[in-house]
Every structure is written in C-alpha cells, then in structure tokens.
Chains A and B, each alone.
Chain A
Amino acid sequence: MIHLYAVLGADATVPPIDGIDGRPVLATRVGELTAAVGVVDQPPEPSNENVLCHAAVVDALAGLNAAVLPARFSRPFATEGVVEAALEPLTKQLQDALAEVSGCVELGVRAFRPTADGDAARRAGRPSAGEYLRLRLASEAERSELAATVSSPLEGHARTTRRRVSGSGTVLLNATYLVQTDTVPAFRDEIERLQRGHPELTIVCTGPWPPYSFAAVPAEAA
C-alpha cells in the first residue's frame, strides 16, 4: 500500500528520510507532477505518532521545495498505479494549486475576547424576547466588525485568506492566511500592532505551516 505525503512539481527534491513505519520517503513521477510517498504494509492509524510523522515529512519537503501541496492523512492507495491514476487527470488543477502556494507558508490566527457575548443582554436585566434578539443582533454585528478590524490588515499581507466559521463566545476570529515567506516578518509585525491596539483581545498567531489549508483541488477533473 502507498501512503501519500504530498504532491509536488516535476523538479521536486525528496529528502532521503524515513516516514511512517520507518519506511523511506520515495518520489513517484506522474507526468509533470511528483508524488512523495511511503510504502506501508497496512493502513496507518491516525495516531499522534503517525500524524506527527506525516507532518514532519511534509515539513522536510517544504524545506527543500518552494511549492508543496501537503496531502491529507488519508487511507492509503492500493498500488503505485492507483496513485498515478488518481493524480494524472488532476494534473492541471494540481499544477495551478502548486503555483498558488509556491513560495508561501500558512499562518493561523485566532483572536479571543474573554468577555462572553450576552453580557449586554444580562446587564439589561430581564429583557423581552424582542429586546434580547435586538441585543444579540447588535452583539453579532459588533463581533463581525471587530473580527474584520483584526483580519483586514492581515489580509493585506496575504495572497489568500480562509476565514473559518468561528463559534460564538470567546472566539472572535479564526482564520488562516497564505503568505509569501518573505512577507512573514511584516505579517507578524501587523499581529503585534493589532495586539497593542486591542488590549481587550488575545491574538494568537500559529505557524508558519506548509499550506495544508490551501492545497485542496476539485475532486472531479474539469
């Protein structure tokens, strides 16, 4: 069985390292693409160890190649032939995705606000249902605006942004940004600036990551 770590371009450099189950990471050429794979005897469990091993292999690939599409930790392919059959019809989409992420890393940003929503409603005493809804709507609008205030300057430094749907409560913003590697310092400066400007928030920036969130391609060939 074949476990897929990542998809890269034709000129990919694959490091001579071991991956899951201590099996070496190999390069499989599929036309204008390279699949970074490892042979496994049975489907790898998504254990901490295997997941971190997969991440380490992707990291190593990202260290050596400007464009990497990290693969999701999924069930393995039956044979190398099945890998080729899966990649070949998606060559154009995968090349487009590689071009999009080339030279970029992913940075995750979460903004927390300790004061829970609904406080305004509670402070109002016992509002009527209508009043409560109006307070909640105003609260939602305010949250949205504040989230945008944090995200907008960061989006200015990014090639692409994915806003995750954040829950209510303390998570104000949960987003991930595709940023050119040499723009990362400016992005981090912006984070610090935003944190100083919003002491009521806790802003956490994680990464840089290989571009897991920007690697998806449409399942069906166009």
Chain B
Amino acid sequence: MIDAGAPDLRERLTLLELVDRVLNGGVVLSGDITLAVADVDLVYVGLRVLLASVATLERMAELEVAS
C-alpha cells in the first residue's frame, strides 16, 4: 500500500517513518477502547500490516474468524 512509484530511497524512508510515527507513536487515550464494536474489527493498526495489501488483510481476517 506504500506508493511503489516513490522515486527514491529517501522519499520512501520518509514516508515509512511518517506512517510508523502516526500508527505506533502519538498519545493513546483509553477512551478509544470503550467503543463497543459489534462487528469483527478488521482494523489492525500496525506498520507491518499496513504494508500488506488490502486483500491480505481480508484473508487474515477470514482466517482469524475461522480459528
């Protein structure tokens, strides 16, 4: 999902660094887990998963539900 068209290493590294900070850094407040989620939560916030394709995410979600 990272733009494969990014022209050079520095730009790709900068993008990865930014995404890493937004997903793994920043302040986390406990209120966000009081949201009642009735459906299967397909949103797994993590850099390594972000790098997977959406199709892979859906496949992973199916496997998780099945297991």
Of A78-86, A124-132, A133-141, the one with at least 4 CB within 8 A of chain B: A78-86
Q: Are A78 and B45 in contact (CB under 8 A)?
A: no
| Residues of A contacting B: mostly | mixed
Contact of B18 among A4, A77, A204, A209 (CB under 8 A): A209
- List the one stretch of A39-47, A113-121, A153-161, A179-187 in contact with chain B: A39-47
> CA separation between A59 and B17, bound complex, in Å?
15
Give the contact stretch, choosing among A21-29, A64-72, A143-151, A191-199: A64-72
| B43 CB, nearest partner CB in chain A, Å | 6
Q: How many A-B residue pairs have CB under 8 A?
A: 114
- Render B17-29 as a binary contact track against A, CB cut-off 8 A, 1 for contact: 1110111111111
In the complex the two chains form, what is the Cα distance from A101 to B26 in whole Å? 12
When distances are taken between beta carbons in the complex, the residues of chain A under 8 Å from B59 are none
Closest residue of chain A to B23 (Cβ to Cβ) is A73
Q: Contact: A212 with B22, CB < 8 Å?
A: yes
Contact B43 A70 (CB under 8 A): no
B interface residue count range (under 10 / 10 to 19 / 20 to 34 / 35 or more): 20 to 34
Alpha-carbon separation in the docked complex, A216 to B33 (Å): 17
Judging by beta carbons under 8 Å apart, are A76 and B35 in contact?
Answer: yes
CA distance in complex: A199, B28 (Å): 40
Q: Which residues of A contact B37 (CB under 8 A)?
A: 43, 75
A interface residues, Cβ below 8 angstroms from B? 1, 4, 7, 43, 45-48, 51-52, 54-55, 58, 69-78, 82-83, 85-87, 90, 94, 97, 106, 108, 110, 204, 206-207, 209, 212-213, 215-217, 219
